[in-house]
Structure 1
Amino acid sequence: MGQYKANSTNSQNFNLTFDNQKIGELIYKKWCSFNAEILMSDGTKYQLEPKGFWDSKIELKDDTKTLLEFKMGWKGIIIKSFFDNTEDTFLLKLNGLLSSKFVLIDTEKNELLVAETDFKWDKLNYDYNIETTKNFDNFDKKELLLLTILHCINYYMTIIVSAG
């Protein structure tokens, strides 16, 4: 089981670390935007781009190839990944109405990770503690998926706050 941390360096950038080693960064182009870039520690870049009516779907792209997409559903955020020409579907949901924990489950309802948000009042931004399961740790692109899940959680919180 992995223990990851995502710290907001400002309201637009998040560093993802494992054992104090930087894995990658989620970089928003501007505050309160769904456009973002993922920069892995090896220098590989990916784009997160909103699509559809009211930016209802977000796609993760490696140049022009869509690697993953997600959209808000009634039960949470539905994530479809297309890594290695295999389609997998996941659900990221809030673990209770007033909870600060998000849970990622697969189609068999197996829990893959728990991400707990930690709001920093002094900085007005979020940090995250993420605990993964052995099943998640076996994924090929787990670090890229983790950074995308951070974007999903930020997307979720932005949608919920703007609806309230």
Structure 2
Amino acid sequence: MGTTVEVKDGKNVILKFAMNWDGNIVLNTYLNDVEKNYTFSHKGFFRESFVLTDEKGSELLVMNPNIQWRSLIYEYQITTSEILETFEEKNILLLISLHCANNYMSMMAGMGI
């Protein structure tokens, strides 16, 4: 794995994530003394999307990027599952997923893809 990013609340790590060897981003949350693991992955080539899945492989959200050519900023259509809507950590997972998607798109733009 490459660089690991940690999100802390004071001194406590509440979330960390890193890109895996296969290009997926592995997320680990540590909220209320419970560790949960998720995978953020890129799907497609021309019709791109990103998917966040839980440990069981259930899709929690799908993000479809759409570039705004005037401002060169990506907007995302985000579809969440009923499962994600019940999660206490829903908001932080949404924010981290957005960060991961923007990071991935920046990386691909830098590579000329």
Gaps of 5+ in 2: none
Which of 45, 64, 67 is the aligned partner of 2:11?
64
> Given that residues 68 and 79 in structure 1 are in contact (C-alpha distance below 8 angstroms), is that contact kept between their aligned partners in structure 2?
yes
1:154 aligns to what? 102
The structural deviation recorded for 1:108 is 1.1
Length, aligned pairs only? 110
Q: Give the letter aligned to residue 69 of structure 1.
A: K
Identity of aligned residues (%): 32
Q: After the TM superposition, list the runs of 4 or more consecutive aligned residues in structure 1 that deviate by more than 4 angstroms.
A: none
TM-score (normalised: structure 2): 0.86
Structure 1, gaps ≥5 residues long: 1-52
8 A contact 1:71–1:79 mirrored in 2: yes
Q: Does 2:10 correspond to 1:79?
A: no
1:118 partner SS? strand
Which amino acid is the alignment partner of residue 9 of structure 2?
D
Q: 1:92 aligns with which of 16, 40, 43?
A: 40
Measured in 1, the distance between the counterparts of 2:8 and 2:47 equals 31
Distance in 2 separating the partners of 1:66 and 1:60 = 6
Within 1, Cα distance between the matches of 2:4 and 2:46?
A: 25
Root-mean-square deviation (CA, aligned residues, Å) is 1.6
> Offset at 1:160?
3.1
What do the CA deviations read for 1:75-99 (whole angstroms, capped 9, x no partner)?
4111111111111111111122333
**Equivalent-residue separation in structure 2 for 1:139 and 1:60 (angstroms):** 18
Note the alpha carbon deviations across 1:6-27, whole angstroms, 9 max, x for none.
xxxxxxxxxxxxxxxxxxxxxx
- Alignment-mate amino acid for residue 91 of structure 2: E
